[in-house]
Chains A and B, each alone.
Chain A
Amino acid sequence: MELYRLIASTEEGEIPIVAAAESEAEAFRIADREIQHHYLKKPKITDIALIQRKSIGKNGAGYLIRPRESYE
């Protein structure tokens, strides 16, 4: 199992999404699911990008979510 960090781009800006999944394709499916769950009125998504992966070891894994710096 891996922990994936994704970013959905919308006209209003970027939405960070984190997904624990067995594969990249599954991570995208989870991202879709979470977007569906979250919004009453779904924003127009231009694309979804997977930008980082970490394996989930015994000690777990995580991401700190905040706006990216210009060099990131």
Chain B
Amino acid sequence: MSYVKVWADHEQLNKNEINKLKKDGLSIFEDIPKYARDGFESIPKDQYMYFKYAGLTVQKPQDKGLFMMRVKIPTGILNAEQAEVLAEIGHDYGRDILDITTRQSIQYHWVPLEKLPEIFDLLKKVDLTTSEAEGDAPRNVVGNPLAGIDRDELFDTRPTVNEIYRFFQDNPDFSNLPRKYKISINANIYNAGHAEINDLAFTPASKVVDGKKVLGFHVKVGGGLAAKPYLAEQLNVFVAKDQVRNVASAVTTLYRDYGYRKSRARARLKYLVADWGIRKFEEKVLELTGPLPSAGKDETVGWNGGFFFGAHPQKQDGLNYVGISVPVGRISSGDFSKIAGLAKQYGSGELRTVNSQNLIIPNIPDRALNDLLAEDIFKKFPVHPTPFTGYAMACTGNEFCNLALTNTKDKMEEIAARLDREVDLDVPVRIYMVGCTNSCGQRHIADIGIQGLKLRTQKGELVDAYEIFVGGTLTGGGHFNERLKGRIAASLISDVLKDFLLYFKKEKEKGETFFTFKNRLGTEKLQTVLDDILKAATSERE
């Protein structure tokens, strides 16, 4: 161990912290083969938390010996072999289902304990890992899914992502952080890395140094959603590419040594940043990094929501990428394997995962593009998805999450399909659904967020219901969506949203986005619109 745990003698450490001092999270990998041999009953309950560091969560019901398992994919780039192994794992160990997550990772369910050693071997052979995909450690490094091939990137971030991923991965100096820790590295000028909702984000920037324009990054710290959302704030520094590791190490060291370990509810970096203020945080960073130039020119020009559908030319002449819609991120291993096969047949074999829970096949030569697009699989996973299904996202929901109050993925798909049939718009509307107030599915930054709850109606029935939130974005530094009053029973939600969006269609200007529309009309006006729709919908039912 090359550092001193300065918090070790703090008086009020939470229980997890006391455990983590006794045993480092990463040591779970030494125990798993034994548990896999001896069965689920051999695992003491107090060891469950350590499985997180291996990217594993005990799945409910907790006595079946099944796990949710997450595999990291830095900036979403997979080679052909890796994609094939991920499909194989889904088929052999994960009941045929893969979920693409909002951090570009792949997540499985129902993974049996006794198979974990085999799975780890398979992953290791292709340089993939589940390690620190969960737990109080650096999570998957997210970034531009088009890194290296993007006409809208300031420069290729693949080397930087790789450097930072390798630096932190399984590094014992950073495996005991106060809480989860999310890094984003992106140089796409449309904020493909969702900078503001990460603990540490590197965003595209330039600066004139000694008369020469240098490309590099600006840095944002302390973002995160969940129940207490916070948008990351910018440090007044310009970071050249060769300084990224230095800065990432400094920020993470500050978090490790000063982040709060008394209550897990206040342990994310955002609480430390909020308490210190951004200027003090910056001073502390500079104490560790040494002097850095002040911020230069911000090169971010907008936000694309992380959507890259359709076929588009790459920055390499003659090559194209194809963005594919995977509704709510769920795909069978057979279909994943087919898409990986097409990537090999028509492209370089590379496949990319997107934080909007979709896929990209890169490196398709011009001459092969039409043949690829004519493949049958794109009837199921379209490259030009219908606008609602293509732009919908959902968290795990009550299928696997103990905190969920409602279903999410099925319900979201059902609503989106209905809206696609009945509402024809000239702009996409991003609708994200979550099953509780924790908002894992990035509900806060959706055009329309839908949050699940249980409702008892006036007639005394207990039903699934939802609240809606309007006007979220990461454009211009970000804005969280705002709740409209009124709880909408599951049986009414698609009717209500349909009418709400038909109102948007009727009143909007040509090309106007939902976010601009909401700002033009104001939340109060939209509230009266919803009130009227709800009144009409309820009286129709009565």
Give the B-binding residues of A (Cβ under 8 A): 9, 24-25, 28, 46-55, 59, 68, 70-72
Known: A53-B436, A71-B229, A71-B480. A47 touches B405 (CB 8 A): no
Bound form: Cα–Cα A49–B483 in Å: 15
Q: Are B456 and A28 in contact (CB under 8 A)?
A: yes
Q: Is the C-beta of B114 less than 8 angstroms from some C-beta in chain A? A: no
- B440-496 with Cβ < 8 A to chain A: 444, 453-458, 462, 465, 469, 480-483, 487
Are A25 and B462 within 8 A (Cβ)?
yes
Q: Which of A25, A47, A52, A71 contacts B487 (CB 8 A)?
A: A47
Give the nearest-CB partner of B465 in chain A.
Answer: A49
Residue on B with the closest CB to A59?
B15
Find out whether the CB atom of A50 lies under 8 angstroms from the CB atom of B469: no
CB of A54 to closest CB in B, whole Å: 8
The answer to whether A24 touches B229 (Cβ under 8 A) is: no
Most buried by B among A9, A46, A68, A71: A71
Whether A28 contacts B436 in the complex (CB less than 8 A), given A49-B455, A50-B405, comes out as no
Give chain A nearest CB distance to B432 CB in angstroms. Answer: 13
Chain A positions within 8 Å of B405 at CB level: 24, 50-53
What is the CA–CA distance of A46 and B402 in the complex, to the nearest angstrom? 28
Nearest CB of chain A from residue B488's CB, rounded to whole Å? 11
Write the chain A residue with the least CB distance to B227: A72
Footprint of A on B, CB under 8 Å? 15, 227, 229, 402-403, 405, 436-437, 444, 453-458, 462, 465, 469, 480-483, 487, 523
Docked-complex contact B15 and A48, CB < 8 angstroms: no
CB distance from A16 to the nearest CB of B (A): 13
CB distance B437 to A51 under 8 Å?
yes
* CB-defined contacts of A53 to chain B, threshold 8 Å: 403, 405, 436
Residues in A whose Cβ lies below 8 Å from that of B462: 24-25, 28
18 A-B pairs whose Cβ atoms sit less than 8 Å apart in the complex: A24-B405, A28-B462, A46-B458, A49-B455, A49-B456, A49-B487, A52-B405, A53-B403, A53-B436, A54-B403, A59-B15, A70-B480, A70-B482, A70-B483, A71-B444, A71-B481, A71-B483, A72-B437
**CB neighbours of B402 from chain A (8 A):** 55
List 15 additional A-B contacts (Cβ < 8 Å) besides A48-B456, A51-B453, A70-B482: A9-B487, A24-B462, A25-B462, A47-B456, A47-B458, A48-B455, A49-B487, A51-B436, A52-B405, A59-B15, A70-B483, A70-B523, A71-B469, A71-B481, A72-B227
CA A39 to CA B455, docked complex, whole Å: 22
Complex interface: chain B residues within 8 A of A55 (CB): 402
Question: Which 8 residue pairs of A and B lie closest in terms of their CB atoms, listed nearest first?
Answer: A71-B480, A50-B454, A70-B482, A51-B453, A48-B456, A49-B453, A49-B455, A52-B437
